[in-house]
Amino acid sequence: MEELLVFHDGIYLPAESLVAMAMNAPDYHTAEHYMVSLLYCAVIYGNRRLLEICQEIRQHFGVQPYPEQGAVKGDLTPARTKEEVRSIFCKQDENTQRELLCEAIRIMMHEKDDTGKNIFWQKQHWMAVYLVLRDALGIRCSQTGFAEYANRITPHDCPEGLRIGTSTMTNFSKTITEEKPYYEMKHNPFAEVCSTFWNTIERVVLTRM
């Protein structure tokens, strides 16, 4: 594991460093932010030792270990296509879907770009969330009704300044001018937010299901 690099918050860090950050975190809520990247790396590269370490981190904080099934017992899950991730997500009940999305949004709100600036830093970025849910996950929700849906997947500790408002989606058609999926747009004003959110959803779905 010494030479294993893990993609986390926009950069590659040694796995040992991320493990240390997780173990030294003040609480499990903070440690889990590091664990998502560790778990994703463990699944993609088939690193059973890294999976065991994530179990140890959970035990360190008094959290029940993940059940030993699926990838832990047999062959590890390979990388999935967007269609496969969507299929896995859509097979879950509504409560599970909302829990997964809430976790993905909570993680994304801590993601930073190459300059160290938060990627999700304004209410308008909920438009990007809407695009990803509509185009990548196939969630059927109107623009006018999205604020209500967004409130159900917003983490409880989300800063008030980032919570969606009743008028947040008002200028959607003026802001998003191309009538095509976000990943096919030539001029997506929220391309980085969309990409980051999808990558986060992928990591959460593959490490939780």
Q: What is the per-residue pLDDT across 152-196, written as a single tens digit (0 to 9) for each?
A: 999 998 999 999 999 999 999 999 999 999 989 989 999 999 999
The rounded radius of gyration (Å) of the Cα atoms in the chain is 17
Query: Across the chain, what does the average pLDDT equal?
Result: 86
Alpha carbons 136 and 52: distance in angstroms, whole number: 31
**pTM attached to this predicted model:** 0.64
Q: Which has the closest alpha carbon to 114: 38, 34, 182, 196? A: 196
Alpha carbons 64 and 55: distance in angstroms, whole number: 8
Q: What is the per-residue pLDDT across 79-100, written as a single tens digit (0 to 9) for each?
A: 556 788 899 999 999 999 999 9
Residue type, position 174, single letter:
K
> Do residues 7 and 37 lie in contact, with contact meaning Cβ atoms separated by under 8 Å?
yes
Alpha carbons 133 and 140: distance in angstroms, whole number: 8
46 Rama class: left (phi>0) / alpha (psi -120 to 50) / beta: left
Give CA 2 to chain center in angstroms: 26
Residue 6 DSSP label: E
Q: What is the per-residue pLDDT across 2-47, written as a single tens digit (0 to 9) for each?
A: 567 888 887 878 889 999 999 999 998 899 899 888 988 887 767 7
